[in-house]
Amino acid sequence: MTMREPGDQEVYHHGQGVSPGVAYGPAYVIVPDALRAPRREIAPSDIDGELERFESALAATRADILRVKAVLEHADKSDEAEIFDSHLLILEDESLLESVRTTIRNDRVNAEHAFSTRVLDAVDRIENSQSSYLRERVRDIRDVEHRVVRVLLGQREPAVGDLLQNAILVAHDLSATLTAELDRDRILGFATELGAATSHTAILARALEIPAVVDLGPIIHRLSHGESVVLDGREGLLIQNPAPDTLAEYERIKAKIERKRAEWVSLAGVPGRTLDGEPLTLLANIEFNREVDAALAFGCDGIGLYRTEYLFLQSGGDVPEPVQLEVYRGIVRRMDGRPVTVRTLDLGGDKLLAGMEGEENPFLGWRAVRYCLDRPEVFLGQLRAILRAGAEGPVAIMIPMITTMEEVDAVLDLVGSARESLRSEGLAHAESCPVGVLVETPAAALMAERLAQRFDFLSLGTNDLVQYTLAVDRGNRRIAHLYQPFHPAVLRLIREVVDAAEAAGKPVNVCGEMGSNARAAALLLGMGVRSFSMVPARIPRIKQILGRVTVEEAAEVAREALEQRDSDSVKAIVDRHFGERFHHAATR
């Protein structure tokens, strides 16, 4: 590791934390190489040989990607292995490959130049798309192009086997292929100039439990190979040339994280209860089946929200019923009798499949139940798969983005049709699978009384409820400060939903970020909520927090909070009552 010289300045680089944890050590800097596919004319007599060379490169690349998949599958990371199915599909895209062959024949140019040119044409079209999902897939395409061209040029990928022991990898960007091959025993974490939380690289980092920060901007030219750095995947920081005091502080943070994790895991078998003994249900939100292990380790009482759209996004298109069934059935079996609530497709907004057109106002557009009702064949396939998985254990169906009673009628009719088709085919399924609604718009909240009459349970999706109630795009940095979960208007809508569920004798759950927020959880308890669903790692923290509060105290605080004029006043009330008890808990 490069030693810190007297006078060296500590520099903070801010990015986006996509995989939590902290690490410190020497930087292993990968400078982007100028991989070029120079144009070379070929003689007519060499065309067949060039085409053969192209086909051999495709075969070699395919074999290498299959090798990476096999390594992941052998490590029991089948979800991550499936990411590379999209890479394989690119290698099988006949329209792309035929255009390359045509270019070789007609323009009489070398294979690497023809392939690179045609791929860049495709990338330009995708980058001009309004679909953020399609734009993210550009990395997969460029990864494949990079690998094929390297084979044709006779070059190998930059070696990572000679990485410094216990190093932090710093790169312009990392392909999913390279990320999957990182040695967790040698890599402490990684940081990239580009990237996003939804990228396959970020997904793999979380699966491999490697701290990661992306979207740091141009930093490589400011770092030296072997220079000391600190990586903070919680706060999205890369600290260059950390001072001794900073290193000492991160040593304490790391030790505290390890102690806290051990403490949380030790609470897994302790039931959730308030200070006065009121039972609580603490559930997990998941996106991928690999997260089931973490949910169980942290002591979840079940899955309160399984977001199924990511299964479709990873595949790049519709997922056949048998494939869905195996995924859902696997989760249900691993939960071993604990309930699993499956949210039906919430595509649209910023989660677009190939072929879905971008919209001027996507979050008010063709998304979630609107998409499903317009694609009944897709919706029925998913409903059937969920019902069939319910033969293995307790399963519930949850419908997102309901805003009208006409949608309610149509959804329940399709659920009935799915059940009837399974009966007629003699397929095992859950006859009494509960069907619930995700309340995430003011319209749904104000119709909660009617929704409670039609559905078996209500669940509050507070992330969207806050966004739609306050007309604030929380992804917009200019107005992000206006995204206020403690706004009295939001709290009053939540209270209406809880009251409606209670009056109808129906259970109500909170599965948005408010359920894992210390202040908000106390308020929700006071408003009558007893079931909370959150990211697995937050379960022990909320269990501890609510275990320090009585129902009567929480109800008193909630009554006072509902009378306030602004968010700051609400938070001040909670802090006045509970701040001393919550001072160790994160409240963001």
Which of 113, 174, 102, 182 lies closest to 142 in space, CA to CA? 174
Average pLDDT, stretch 279-294?
88
**Cβ(199)–Cβ(12) below 8 Å:** no
pLDDT digits (tens, 9 = 90+) for 527-562: 999 999 988 888 988 999 999 999 999 999 999 999
Structure tokens at 496: 């209406």
Angle among Cα 244, 250, 255 to the nearest 5 degrees reads 130
Nearest to 88 by CA among 68, 59, 121, 65: 65
**CB proximity list for 192: less than 8 A, separation 6 or greater:** 170, 171, 172, 173, 174, 201, 212, 213, 214, 215, 216
Of 148, 180, 150, nearest to 59 (Cα)? 148
Say yes or no to pLDDT of 453 above 90: yes
Strand extents, DSSP E, 490-560: 508-510, 531-534
Residue 273: band (very low, low, confident or very high) from pLDDT cuts 50, 70, 90: very high
Known catalytic residue at 511? yes
Q: What is the 3-state secondary structure (H, E, C) of 179-195?
A: HHCCCCCCEEEEEECCC
CA angle 230, 516, 366 (to 5 degrees): 100
Catalytic: which of 13, 87, 146, 200? 200
26 within 8 A of 226, measured Cβ to Cβ? yes
With pLDDT > 90 as the criterion, what percentage of the chain qualifies?
49
Instruction: Give the pLDDT mean for 372-382.
Output: 93
Is the model's pLDDT at 136 over the cut of 80? no
**Least confident stretch, 36-40, 148-152, 373-377:** 36-40
- Among all chains, which residue has been given the structure tokens 């959150």? 534
What is the model's pLDDT at position 531? 97
Contact status, residue 186 vs residue 163, Cβ threshold 8 Å: yes
List, in order of start, the domains of the chain with CATH numbers.
11-33+162-260 (3.50.30.10), 44-153 (1.10.274.10), 302-433 (3.20.20.60), 438-581 (3.20.20.60)
Active-site residue flag, 113: no
State both tokens at 415: 């659920």
pLDDT in tens, 177-235: 566 666 666 788 989 988 776 565 776 677 567 899 998 988 887 887 788 999 999 88
When pLDDT is cut at 50, 70 and 90, the band that residue 64 belongs to is confident
DSSP state of 538: G
Residue 244, CB-side half-sphere exposure with 13 Å CA sphere: 5
Dist. CA 19–CA 234, nearest whole Å: 7
Among candidate residues 316, 340, 346, the one with its CA nearest the CA of residue 327: 340
Six token digits for residue 360: 């001027």
Query: What pLDDT was estimated at residue 143?
Result: 76
Say yes or no to pLDDT of 71 above 70: no
Q: How confident is the model at residue 462 (pLDDT cuts 50, 70, 90)?
A: very high
- The residue among 169, 247, 263, 242 whose CA lies nearest residue 208 is 169
Question: Residues 300, 372, 433, 511: which is the catalytic one?
Answer: 511
Q: Tell me 161's DSSP state.
A: T
Q: Over the stretch 421-442, which tens digit does the pLDDT of each residue have?
A: 999 999 999 988 999 999 999 9
CA angle 100, 101, 106 (to 5 degrees): 100
Give pLDDT, residue 279. Answer: 97
3-state helix, strand, coil in the chain (%, to 5): 50, 15, 35
Q: What percent of the chain has pLDDT over 70?
A: 83
Locus of tokens 């996003």 = 196
